[in-house]
Amino acid sequence: MEGNKRWVSGDLQHPDRDPNRRQFVAQEQEPFGAILSCIDSRVPPELLFDTGLGDLYVMRTGGEAVGPVVTGSVEYGPMTSDTPLIVVLGHQRCGAVKAAYTSLRDGKPLPGNLQAIVRALQPAYEQAVREGGADPVETMARAQVTLTAADLRSNQDLTPLVRKGALAVVGAYYSLDTGKVEVLAGAPS
């Protein structure tokens, strides 16, 4: 979050990005967080948290859609090397969420493998329909974050780590307009 403050203000440090750092992490890595975010070209976690080499595991899928391979990749750090933090990061004006919302609302499947993303986002769509709100796509994007973070927090692999305080699973939301990351759920106390 400190790195995100620097991103918002423009006062960037670009940490961990020199040849010394490259050599330091060449044999072993110890990232402090695992981030699941969207493929959107405007939401690269390393930039918007002002981090560098070896700092983060990063998974990116359309609308932070998950399936077994993605979930396994998110779990890899926490389960094998005590990574203490998972962040599910959604964002403003998410094209994947918007496309899934429209597809489900109109009952028109998307072509090919895109439909797999729509299926993965269906629970968030249903929650957004229940919640309503001025901008249902925005509601759905936030629901996708909180549902995905809650699913990770309560799955059989990660629950033991969360219970003993070794892992926090945080849901967060990124504003394209301001560059600011807002924590939605699961912030460690």
Q: Which two tokens stand for residue 164?
A: 């003993």
> Given the complex with Zn ion, which of 83 and 92 has the nearer CB atom?
92
- Considering the complex, what minimum distance in angstroms separates the CB of residue 97 from Zn ion? 6
Q: Does 94 bind Zn ion (CB under 5 A)?
A: yes
> Given the complex with Zn ion, which of 40 and 55 has the nearer CB atom?
40
Q: Does 149 bind Zn ion (CB under 5 A)?
A: no
Long-range contacts of 59-62 (CB under 8 A, 24+ apart): 59/34, 59/35, 60/36, 61/36, 61/117, 62/38, 62/96, 62/114, 62/117
- Considering the complex, what minimum distance in angstroms separates the CB of residue 103 from Zn ion? 15
Cα 130 from Cα 124, distance rounded (Å): 10
Please answer whether residues 167 and 136 qualify as being in contact, where contact means their C-beta atoms are separated by less than 8 angstroms.
no
Residue 136 has phi, psi (to 5 degrees) of -65, -30
- Considering the complex, what minimum distance in angstroms separates the CB of residue 49 from Zn ion? 17
Q: How many CB atoms lie within 10 A of CB 71?
A: 18
> Given the complex with Zn ion, which of 94 and 118 has the nearer CB atom?
94
> Given the complex with Zn ion, which of 40 and 167 has the nearer CB atom?
40
Residues numbered 31 to 60 that lie near Zn ion (CB under 5 A) are 38, 40
Q: Provide the binding-site residues for Zn ion, judged by CB under 5 A.
A: 38, 40, 94, 96
